[in-house]
Structure 1
């Protein structure tokens, strides 16, 4: 009765005019669910033609049966049964079936009626149904849909049932097994035989029913030659092949089906030309194989040795068929069988582990290895220059094959290593005449061994020549064969990928480094004709150098000279396509930085090399910035800003080469990076393209805080002043971490007494800067947060939330870094303003992350200022604002204790109360007992309880107490009974 539109549609529908009294009664009836008679009459009315009205009437009956069945009179229950059968009888006489959604809803109502009445009022449910339906196609359709609906109600394990429903469903299944299952199985057989050719959709439905019921009925009723022969014939109908897969669920059924399939000639895969049929057949075999694996697993775990051995033998007999399908030229057919192959190899692994490493393997195990290696090979049609859907599918298929290779290695690493070595060596010996597919897959197999084999089989190289591994031999062959010159994109990529995968090889045989370095630097690598190869090699080269830089000292300046042109900034007006993209150049700049920083040159030479690397960037930056300031065309401005951002990014990337052992100062490069800062900072005041330029310079400042340490501080005030001008929420959100990083980096710590002179120097610089920038930054944040926004503007709301979090994190950083004087020196009015925002963040905003941060701040401020020698007036603030915040925040409706962050917030809230007690002592307990808690009308008993818990030395006691009390309050507020008590009595 909630949806009046339905009743209005019924009322005005012209097709309902034969009997308007019924519909008028529905329309004006005050309780539409009390009388199912009306709906039964509508629903069998021959003049009713509106599908939506029929569907609605079925819904009403469904509601009656599901929720009000026990309240219906016997006459009403009988009426519903008769109505359903009359409706079904009407379907038998109709030339056209009802719409599918009507038939599905009818099946649901039949199934619900069956569940409610089969054990009591309608034990002959199936007998009546089958007697009426016979082999009428419309009736059979409803019958099969009803069986599937019954399966959903009674059997489906994915649906949660109450204990009472589970007991009921068990009784129903037991009753069906005793009384009707043989009749149902026979009806399925008759349906399959009658409609196999004429009505394939009904045959599909019937096979689905068999698949659903086979898991809990007597298997012998289906697992017999008579039944399976009929099922096999359905495989000749292409549209049914997939459905047949659902029939194979148990070992005996699988074996029976396999025998019939084999006798019918379906195992002759090589003679079958219908690829679509084989794709479906391979899915069927995959399902059968996985079912046998599952059976073996359960039997083996259950200790049924004999039965497990039989299942294993049955499994072994399917492997030849598995191989035929796995090596098929069509990858779809092969991919369909990968699941079975993977599970079978897992069985072999478990058997070998159980019986010992010398267990004899089936003779077909090597054939599986060769099949996987063969199928890894590219097709000649693969388009490397313009990869589309087909190529993407092959890449995914290769990933599946890699899983098989990994599993093969787990079963027998020695056999796999031997097989790969044989394929690899045979191919590399004739690489000049071999096809690219052969060469690529040979290198690919070597690459894959790195993950597939355990370390004990040579994944890690040894310098001991007596223990030279097969992998080491293959790597030596690869790098000394001249194969890097093979002119195909796939081979080039695979060569460099493998060289970097096994970069540890060059640590034990460094004599091969020069020849590989040249391949990276010339037309085979960074200057390859393919942009795809150049891009990937730029990344791989950086990895190669990072690992082996200690062995490259004598080549450093030669390498820098050879990559000089790749380090040039490409201005927009250049017009010539660059060899590398800006993203690729990042890796080259980082590589150059690593070579310089980690070389064995003295600091003066490193400084000269780094200046030579970065000076072209800064010179170009000045020229481009001047152009940007005078440029009026927006598209041109964006291009120039991008180029300027790239220059800053390149300089920043070189700094990644420094470490705790090789600092900027130790390498003599401080002045070089100070000059870069001096060059880049004017971009902050550029009137156009501020967003991208500010972001780039801000990122560079982050890096310089790490690398230059106190040398960066003189640049920060001016940079901050520029970044706080005309800023948006996102600008502030990104700026605050920079200030927080400075505060945290240069904080005063009591643990570093030996560095007091240095700390004093840093503090002298940082503290005045923070005091200077603090209120302008805070006011800028307040201004942005107070800007009006549309109610439904979720993006703006999220930006404000993130900015608020960043603001509180900034305050937390200051208070926890020993620089609380920065806040204290802002003047009384400003300090109070900031403190009130923290109280507001702790209580009013439904953001547990921000709330947690606010309570951390409050606890720290109480620790710093809450003692008898603390800030004047702060004890008053504690009692008037912090204490109420600790009690009121957990009582907010938005304080959700099922949320993990909220639980952490509650913990910080408890710690704040503990800190107040620690700093104020008995005075705080007296305040709670005599003033605050009585003002909340808290009973003396609860007040005493709270104060006792607060005085416990273990903070966990208070945390747990507050959690329980908060949950109790929520329960009281949400319980109708408790609300009634609260409304009628103050003495709860």
Structure 2
């Protein structure tokens, strides 16, 4: 209760009325109809000055016991055969009741901990001793363990500290090597220990099984403090209780939970157990792609694309392939054994993929079936490296490479698949996904395949695919930095040529306009990523410098389009960065900046005659909207272009602006001198604001 200034006699009267009201509140809450429970309002959180009397504690205790009963399924319910809306209603009701639990926990956490622990431990101990336990009681016990971890989570330890009473100030580098088994368990840790010890995972009910695996996967950090429980939990996952459960809905969900469990505990699983675990899931690593008997194809739509919109068991099966990759990655300290294990894992997939690709077209539904199997095989191959840790950047001196030869074998197989079935969008998307995962795991050791990948994809790309591909290249550039330079040098011209052809196409409707904008945004973001990663020398490499002027012309064309202000700004940002890196008139001997020793012959003429003219005239265009907030950002970039040029080319640029360019734009000598003087004397922000105000005043 909150402190009050009421007289003592009124306080006493109010307390007596509250006590009289308690039975009525509890009666409403205990009603078998759940809707009635919503008349119960949250207990007000206690202030620091409130006093927990015996009567108030008894009220909370009674409330908690009733709330726990409301968590329980009805004995006559069958969640596996219950309408999805009813199941959703029950789950939402549990969430609402848990909020009430949170309120009570904030008042008296010790009481909540005690009651939940006693209820869960009692049921788990009963089952462990061989007592008959109704399924709804078994499920409730596990649910209480699950829910307790979410109560007052902000006030308790995270990770390992949620389960054992270890010191909170253990250095980060020591957390993975310290022996947490010497520390006593917290109440949450005790409940998890009872859950595993009780072997309630053997309870023959699918709802109980699901709740068990949800809890184990949710609190996988517990196994880092009591590692002796890892193997028993894995055994439960691997047999008919888990991934081999006879009920498909359970199996499908446990596929994901198993993958999550393995990923979290990757460094805690004994490498000696990996072969046995992989053997146990070997039958789940087989591609069994089937077109459903009730599938109805809409004429005019892509058959494979429409088919893949349907959710199937394969979507969940991909988690098993990812888990398999994570298990193989555990063998990192034994490179030869790891390579052999990965080869044994991918060999059946590669054989199946090769057989599918060699089948001649028949013009029947068999072709669709074959394409589906190729798609699934590529996706499976992509999910295996997804289970590996990402390739480090920079690479530590003692880093042990993953099995590169096997990854390269996978890349080759995917490229062959594209050569045969690259005309199918679903195959292209699967290949792009798989390559993304391969490069994430193998880093620059695989990037040499990117030009071949792009060549195989470009001839069939739709605009949306091309945008995704550019974004993929930009991400790899950001991640791998200088290690991507040879690849970027090779793909730059075909990439730019394709962009130019796309934006040169006429816009006939809203979809075309959106496609143009998205393409330009992805391309310009990629170019700015290249500059930000100090890889801009690819633009002026011997391979690409003959195309430099055409490339810059394309960027200026984008910078001139005031109807697309976001991409206009991105284009100007790139131009500014390009001038900063390659606009100097002579090598800067005293500069440590990247590219400071590079001089591009004739670049000053292009800057003065093309870039200056384009930049200066942008605000005067009739479709340049000064009222649009984006216009200020655009003007800032234009100001930076002039100031950057003065900085890198010195007096030459100052004289050209003051005596040639600005007078040609109808500025008086006094105005030109003032503008150029401010370029030299003001800082970046100051000149940007000055130039923007000047243009706005001129436009009024």
Which TM-score tier does this pair reach, normalised by the shorter chain?
0.7 to 0.9
Which residue of 716, 719, 725 corresponds with 2:453?
719
Which residue of 772, 781, 795 corresponds with 2:511?
795
Which residue of 418, 422, 426 corresponds with 2:118?
422
Relative to structure 1, is the Cα distance of residues 904 and 310 closer, same or farther in structure 2, using a 3 angstrom cutoff?
farther
Q: Could you report, residue by residue, the CA deviation over 1:718-767 in whole angstroms, capped at 9, with x for unpaired residues? A: 3322222243322322332344456556654xxxxxxxxxx7xx86x546
Relative to structure 1, is the Cα distance of residues 367 and 619 closer, same or farther in structure 2, using a 3 angstrom cutoff?
same
Relative to structure 1, is the Cα distance of residues 826 and 490 closer, same or farther in structure 2, using a 3 angstrom cutoff?
same
Match of 1:455 in 2: 156
- Counterparts in 2 of 1:265-414, with a 5 A limit? 320-335=23-38, 337=39, 341-342=41-42, 345=43, 347-349=44-46, 351=47, 353-355=48-50, 361=56, 363-379=58-74, 380-381=76-77, 383-414=79-110
- Counterparts in 2 of 1:255-654, with a 5 A limit? 320-335=23-38, 337=39, 341-342=41-42, 345=43, 347-349=44-46, 351=47, 353-355=48-50, 361=56, 363-379=58-74, 380-381=76-77, 383-431=79-127, 432-453=131-152, 454-455=155-156, 459-462=162-165, 463=180, 467-549=184-266, 550-572=268-290, 581-599=313-331, 602-627=334-359, 630-633=361-364, 635-654=365-384
Matched-pair contact (CA < 8 Å) for 2:539–2:545: no
Q: Distance in 1 between matches of 2:101 and 2:407?
A: 49
Answer yes or no: is 1:920 the counterpart of 2:649: yes
Q: Distance in 2 between matches of 1:624 and 1:829?
A: 44
Relative to structure 1, is the Cα distance of residues 378 and 897 closer, same or farther in structure 2, using a 3 angstrom cutoff?
farther
Which stretch has the larger CA shift, 674-683 or 862-871?
862-871
Match of 2:500 in 1: 782
Relative to structure 1, is the Cα distance of residues 403 and 907 closer, same or farther in structure 2, using a 3 angstrom cutoff?
farther
Q: Distance in 1 between matches of 2:70 and 2:696?
A: 61
Answer yes or no: is 1:820 the counterpart of 2:532: no
Matched-pair contact (CA < 8 Å) for 1:503–1:544: yes
Matched-pair contact (CA < 8 Å) for 2:331–2:337: no
**Which is higher, the Rg of structure 1 or of structure 2?**
1
The structural deviation recorded for 1:427 is: 2.3
The structural deviation recorded for 1:410 is: 1.9
Relative to structure 1, is the Cα distance of residues 535 and 907 closer, same or farther in structure 2, using a 3 angstrom cutoff?
farther
Matched-pair contact (CA < 8 Å) for 1:383–1:391: yes
The structural deviation recorded for 1:388 is: 3.0
Relative to structure 1, is the Cα distance of residues 951 and 451 closer, same or farther in structure 2, using a 3 angstrom cutoff?
same
Relative to structure 1, is the Cα distance of residues 397 and 892 closer, same or farther in structure 2, using a 3 angstrom cutoff?
farther
Structure 1 SS opposite 2:149: helix
The structural deviation recorded for 1:618 is: 0.8
> How many residues are matched?
641
The structural deviation recorded for 1:951 is: 1.6
Q: Could you say which structure has the greater relative contact order, defined with CA pairs below 8 angstroms and 6 or more residues apart? A: 2
Matched-pair contact (CA < 8 Å) for 2:163–2:187: no
Answer yes or no: is 1:672 the counterpart of 2:401: no
The structural deviation recorded for 1:470 is: 2.7
Q: Distance in 1 between matches of 2:259 and 2:373?
A: 22
Relative to structure 1, is the Cα distance of residues 370 and 618 closer, same or farther in structure 2, using a 3 angstrom cutoff?
same
Answer yes or no: is 1:946 the counterpart of 2:663: no
Q: Distance in 2 between matches of 1:906 and 1:327?
A: 67
Match of 1:147 in 2: none
Q: Distance in 2 between matches of 1:318 and 1:311?
A: 12
Matched-pair contact (CA < 8 Å) for 2:318–2:380: yes
Match of 2:608 in 1: 879
Q: RMSD across aligned C-alpha pairs, in angstroms?
A: 3.6
Q: Distance in 2 between matches of 1:942 and 1:468?
A: 77
Relative to structure 1, is the Cα distance of residues 384 and 467 closer, same or farther in structure 2, using a 3 angstrom cutoff?
same
Q: Distance in 2 between matches of 1:718 and 1:786?
A: 25
The structural deviation recorded for 1:456 is: 5.7
Q: Distance in 2 between matches of 1:600 and 1:810?
A: 34
Relative to structure 1, is the Cα distance of residues 642 and 939 closer, same or farther in structure 2, using a 3 angstrom cutoff?
farther
Q: Distance in 1 between matches of 2:324 and 2:685?
A: 54
Match of 1:4 in 2: none
Relative to structure 1, is the Cα distance of residues 932 and 409 closer, same or farther in structure 2, using a 3 angstrom cutoff?
same
Structure 2 SS opposite 1:708: helix
Matched-pair contact (CA < 8 Å) for 1:641–1:692: no
Relative to structure 1, is the Cα distance of residues 933 and 367 closer, same or farther in structure 2, using a 3 angstrom cutoff?
farther
Matched-pair contact (CA < 8 Å) for 2:325–2:384: yes
Answer yes or no: is 1:810 the counterpart of 2:526: yes
Matched-pair contact (CA < 8 Å) for 1:694–1:723: yes
Answer yes or no: is 1:850 the counterpart of 2:567: yes
Matched-pair contact (CA < 8 Å) for 2:142–2:212: yes
The structural deviation recorded for 1:491 is: 1.0
Answer yes or no: is 1:958 the counterpart of 2:659: no
The structural deviation recorded for 1:495 is: 0.9
Relative to structure 1, is the Cα distance of residues 908 and 306 closer, same or farther in structure 2, using a 3 angstrom cutoff?
farther
Q: Distance in 1 between matches of 2:25 and 2:639?
A: 64
Q: Distance in 2 between matches of 1:614 and 1:900?
A: 54
Answer yes or no: is 1:655 the counterpart of 2:348: no
Matched-pair contact (CA < 8 Å) for 1:906–1:962: yes
Matched-pair contact (CA < 8 Å) for 1:683–1:694: no
Which stretch has the larger CA shift, 663-672 or 917-926?
663-672
Q: Distance in 2 between matches of 1:357 and 1:914?
A: 70
Q: Could you report, residue by residue, the CA deviation over 1:214-263 in whole angstroms, capped at 9, with x for unpaired residues? A: xxxxxxxxxxxxxxxxxxxxxxxxxxxxxxxxxxxxxxxxxxxxxxxxxx
The structural deviation recorded for 1:468 is: 3.1
Q: Distance in 2 between matches of 1:944 and 1:624?
A: 73
Match of 1:77 in 2: none
The structural deviation recorded for 1:619 is: 0.8
Q: Could you report, residue by residue, the CA deviation over 1:127-152 in whole angstroms, capped at 9, with x for unpaired residues? A: xxxxxxxxxxxxxxxxxxxxxxxxxx
Structure 2 length as normaliser, TM-score?
Answer: 0.82
Relative to structure 1, is the Cα distance of residues 427 and 893 closer, same or farther in structure 2, using a 3 angstrom cutoff?
farther
> Gaps (5+ residues) in structure 2?
166-179, 294-311, 587-598
The structural deviation recorded for 1:566 is: 0.6
Which stretch has the larger CA shift, 800-809 or 957-966?
957-966
Relative to structure 1, is the Cα distance of residues 584 and 665 closer, same or farther in structure 2, using a 3 angstrom cutoff?
farther
The structural deviation recorded for 1:567 is: 0.8
Relative to structure 1, is the Cα distance of residues 551 and 638 closer, same or farther in structure 2, using a 3 angstrom cutoff?
same
- Counterparts in 2 of 1:661-810, with a 5 A limit? 666=400, 669-687=403-421, 689-740=423-474, 748=482, 765-766=486-487, 770-771=489-490, 773-791=491-509, 794-810=510-526
Relative to structure 1, is the Cα distance of residues 610 and 456 closer, same or farther in structure 2, using a 3 angstrom cutoff?
closer
Matched-pair contact (CA < 8 Å) for 1:607–1:667: no
Q: Distance in 2 between matches of 1:461 and 1:559?
A: 28
Matched-pair contact (CA < 8 Å) for 2:117–2:187: yes
The structural deviation recorded for 1:412 is: 1.4
Match of 1:39 in 2: none
Q: Distance in 2 between matches of 1:668 and 1:445?
A: 42
Q: Distance in 2 between matches of 1:595 and 1:562?
A: 12
Structure 1 SS opposite 2:681: coil
Q: Distance in 1 between matches of 2:572 and 2:203?
A: 65
The structural deviation recorded for 1:829 is: 7.5
Relative to structure 1, is the Cα distance of residues 531 and 907 closer, same or farther in structure 2, using a 3 angstrom cutoff?
farther
- Counterparts in 2 of 1:223-262, with a 5 A limit? none
The structural deviation recorded for 1:955 is: 0.9
Structure 2 SS opposite 1:374: helix
Relative to structure 1, is the Cα distance of residues 942 and 449 closer, same or farther in structure 2, using a 3 angstrom cutoff?
farther
The structural deviation recorded for 1:789 is: 4.3
Matched-pair contact (CA < 8 Å) for 2:500–2:554: no
Match of 1:889 in 2: 618
